[in-house]
Amino acid sequence: MKPVCIILLISLYVFAGKSALTAVYEAMGIDPMPGILHRTPALRQENYSRVRRRNDSTLSGWFSTTSLRSIHPQSYFEAARFLEPLLDSARAQTQLSTPPLYKESPLGGKGVVLGVVDVGFDYTHPAFRDTTGQLRILAAWDQQSTEGPTPSPWEYGSEYRGEREIRAAKHDSQRESSHGTHVAAIMGGSLVKGAESYQGVAPEGGFVFVTTDFSEVGIVDAVEYIFAEAERLNLPAVVNLSLGSSFGPHDGTSFVDRMHKKYNGPGRIIVSAAGNSGHHRRFVQGRVKEDTPFKTVTPLPWRSKYVDFWIEEGANIEVTPSLYTMDGVRKHTLKPFTPGIPYADTLVSGDDTLQIFGGYEKENPFNQKMNYLFLLRNNESSLYTRYYFGVTITGAAGSIMGWNAYYSSFLSLGKEGYQRGDTVHTLIDGGGTSPGALTVGAWVSKDSFINTAGKKQEVNHPERLFDKAHFTSIGPTIDGRNKPEITAPGHGVVSAYNSFNTTHTDSSQVVARIPYESRTYSYGVKSGTSMATPFVSGAAALLLEIDATLSRETILEILYESARRDEYTGPARNASYDSWGAGKIDVAKAIMEAAARKDGSRDEPLLLLDEILWYNNQLFTTSKEIHSVEVYTVKGRRIMKKEVSPRRLLSLAHISPQILFLRFHTTRGTVETRIRVR
């Protein structure tokens, strides 16, 4: 057996108040580091970059360790996490066609800003052109680029405005990704010849793309940028965030969650993914007492992961990390955490190296909890096949909650006294847990698709068709809020690919290739709550087209009233509410509900049958049960009779304003109701 040696690296910094993640960054030598500085006077300009003053006492940006050593003793520095796109865990293959009602509806998100914070945007894709070939992209900000002018007042990255600039840029700096293109086209992709089935939900909205650097600071700046653009244009806006982090307090008090709550308001909607952790036991909880320590273990990562513990009402807490063999034998007990000292250990075994960094915070100022945070960095060594990482927490008292920020679980190894993880509370922090965002889960919509080679690709998913996707994360939040609030199709969704991405080597997942302006564009399959989220973002844009003043709370009410519930979701507000939220989104019924609220005519049924929409003096339907309709005045005179087929029924736009009665002849009999022509 190869010899093993433990090298302990300890370094001491005298900072003012700081988060546990700040200590981890210190131990890793990250300089400058992204974060938020609270309760501070002005700093010298040379000690920080990309910094914005958010209010009289708060700065955000990238700070040097030199500047942080000299800040006011009552200041607090909150290092910013790096979030990630959310499609990693599922590669199921299904085809999702846009419901027919969207194609016939008078709504398309016109006059609404569609904000997408992501990476991998293809600015030239026909999904982002209107019917004349003009770009629907109002502005694009690439936070990772240094090639173009910077936007004011953010002063970093590259901003592109206008048809000429955006066309010349072609794509963002992250061309090896298609994530942003795929998400944006679901939210609002245009109707493209040869790819008609993959039209987005709001195909008439105006896009604002932000290629994020994935830091919390960058993501908050991106949301501000999109809402500032909407304010400039005097338009409502929806921001789609298909990204997040699996570590953090999960109680709405992280920096991104606090900012979402701040920016939420009438005509300003943020929609976030729930996360893809529902199939792993990534959450663990328990209590520590004087005679009963808290113990748990988790597999080492192939590359790196965070392991995060938050403790309430803790007294005399001590945390000791250890390494365990695969059969549960403690092999190495590492040095216990020392409060105030950033933690760094290195395990060397032959040619393999494992680095362990740690940070501690006695009391977080936003939730008053104690926080211990570990970063395990394995760098693809074989140690992950031989060891588990474990912690033992001792003390006089304390309620413990932990998260495993990687696609693996907390384990008990069948040992007495060790805590096994659970799938509850696995929502992503920094979006999915936000009080200011609508959070979206995913369900399985179809079980196969035909690729461009004409081959049928079957779905490989453990759940039933139409059931919740196994990967979608589960609530509630730690502070007891029900999330996700709604679900949408997210398993094997077909949408646009980035044509500049040369890493797409699996042609089996491409379902359409479209020649356009001497270039070939593709549509293909991706999975995750990333793909479910833009369905709801697009639907929110349609609702804002009806009423630009709608708030998150009102849209949530509309989605709840209109959501579809079935044998998989169960009835409203049952035990599965933290898996399904209100249920499956039903955009048609949501439109009806919003139109009824806008018109102030809830006593005049707009939901005439299950699938009929009365909007803008026109009747629309997807029902196959209706075969004719008669129109009568209030005096009983019939003024119209029409045989109908599915989709559009008839237009009454040529009739003067008045009350009319409608008589529908259906396969179930005759149904009568009244409408108001406006």
- 126 touches 199 (CB < 8 A): no
- 445 touches 531 (CB < 8 A): no
The catalytic residue among 118, 142, 221, 447 is: 118
The catalytic residue among 530, 537, 562, 579 is: 530
- Phi and psi at residue 231, in whole multiples of 5°? -65, -40
- Which residue shows structure tokens 């009929």? 612
- 669 touches 628 (CB < 8 A): no
DSSP 13-58: ---SEE-HHHHHHHHHT-SSEEEEEES--PPPGGGEEEEEEEETTE
Reading the block at residue 306, the tokens are: 């965070």
* Residue 563: closest CA among 598, 539, 599, 595: 539
- Phi and psi at residue 265, in whole multiples of 5°? 180, -175
Alpha-carbon separation of residue 438 from 7, 272, 482, 600, 625 (angstroms): 46, 6, 11, 25, 34
The catalytic residue among 38, 125, 171, 179 is: 179
- Which residue shows structure tokens 């709504």? 107
Burial class from Cβ neighbours inside 10 Å (0-12, 13-18, 19+) for residue 44 reads: exposed
- Per the annotation, the verdict on 72 as an active-site residue is no
Sequence-ordered strand ranges (E) for 103-225 = 113-118, 137-142, 158-161, 206-211
Angle at 441 between CA 229 and CA 34, to 5 degrees: 50
* Residue 548: closest CA among 184, 260, 241, 269: 269
Sequence-ordered strand ranges (E) for 517-583 = 519-526
Q: Distance (Å, rounded) from C-alpha 630 to C-alpha 652? A: 12
Four-point Cα dihedral 419, 420, 423, 426, nearest 10: 50
DSSP 576-631: THHHHTT-B--HHHHHHHHHHHHHT-TTS-S-SSTTEEEETTEEEE--SSEEEEEE
The alpha helices in 249-405, defined as continuous H runs, are: 255-263
Q: Distance (Å, rounded) from C-alpha 247 to C-alpha 579? A: 20
- Per the annotation, the verdict on 530 as an active-site residue is yes
End-to-end C-alpha distance for the chain, whole angstroms: 84
- Per the annotation, the verdict on 251 as an active-site residue is no
H/E element, 230: helix 216-233
Burial class from Cβ neighbours inside 10 Å (0-12, 13-18, 19+) for residue 110 reads: middle
- 360 touches 340 (CB < 8 A): yes
Q: What pairing do the DSSP bridges indicate for beta strands 486-489 and 438-443?
A: parallel
Q: Bridge partners of 612? A: 621
Q: Provide the annotated active-site residues.
A: 118, 179, 530
